[in-house]
Amino acid sequence: MKWGAVIVAAGRGTRMGVADNKAYLPAAGRPILAYAIEAFERCGRVEEIVIVAGVGEIGRAEALVRAERFGKVAAVVAGGAERQDSVEAGVAALRTEGVLVHDAARPLVTPELIAACADGAETCGAATLAVPVKDTIKVAEGGLIVSTPDRSSLCAVQTPQAFGRLALLEAHRLAREAGASATDDAMLFERLGRKVAAVPGHYTNLKITTPEDLLVAELFLERRRRET
């Protein structure tokens, strides 16, 4: 199967406490988005990349691609009001059979994890990277603990997530028509009763959401730079 990637970089930095798009914040000397693109650029399974940029930021993303000399980026498209809208726009711009959807705010993903996710989807039909949760999870309502799920069955989901491109477009269309929302693309497959494989991810593949996340990510990025 030929694979393409959609890297979603249309979010804002609200929880980071910054006015700028966090995808362009510097981490160990480079924009966060650059690391994410580079991982897919280096992955042999990926043939083309589409970047979903924020409204008014297409030129900014294109300038980054030129500066970094990324050769697999086929298009930069504008995102929508919600993440689902942005992903759908990116997937529609791809030409490959398979699509890997990735959050730009995960700069520590590796070519090996990307390839493993694609392999999982080719076997099962869809796949997501995931890691076992470390903490005990509680369900709270009104400030009170009401239950404790069995931790052995819980995992924290990461990106990329991998799907057949046409199947993902269909899942997005059906969700849109039903007015259903989802926090990730795997949920759109789950609501249709389709299987999604949980492929082992890595704890370093963290999502930069808060200033503390950025500090941790920079430590790992600096270590990688020293090791190469």
Rounded mean pLDDT of the chain? 95
Give the per-residue pLDDT at 1: 93
Look at residues 153, 149, 112, 105 and name the one whose alpha carbon lies nearest to residue 129.
112
- How confident is the model over 173-192, as pLDDT tens digits? 999 999 999 999 999 999 99
pLDDT category, 14, cuts 50, 70, 90? low
Q: Name residue, tokens 């593949």.
A: 205
- How confident is the model over 93-113, as pLDDT tens digits? 999 999 999 999 999 999 999
- How confident is the model over 166-177, as pLDDT tens digits? 999 999 999 999
CB 107, CB 32: distance < 8 Å: yes
Domains in the chain, please, with CATH?
Answer: 3-227 (3.90.550.10)
| Dihedral of the alpha carbons of 15, 223, 6, 84, in degrees to the nearest 10 | -20
- Please enumerate in sequence order all residues whose Cβ is within 8 A of that of 148, keeping only pairs 6 or more positions apart, or say none: 136, 137, 138, 139
Q: Say what percent of the chain tops pLDDT 70.
A: 97
Give the per-residue pLDDT at 13: 61
Would you list the DSSP string of 43-110? -TTEEEEEEEEPTT-HHHHHHHHHHHT-SSEEEEEE--SSHHHHHHHHHHH--SSEEEEEETT-TT--
Give the per-residue pLDDT at 11: 75
pLDDT category, 228, cuts 50, 70, 90? confident
How far is Cα 210 from Cα 204, in angstroms, rounded to an integer?
15
Higher pLDDT, 19 or 185: 185
Q: List the single range of 12-16, 26-30, 106-110, 132-136 with lowest mean pLDDT.
A: 12-16
With a cut of 80, say whether residue 205 has pLDDT above it. yes
Average pLDDT over residues 30-45: 98
Average pLDDT over residues 22-47: 97
With a cut of 90, say whether residue 28 has pLDDT above it. yes
With a cut of 90, say whether residue 12 has pLDDT above it. no
Average pLDDT over residues 146-165: 97
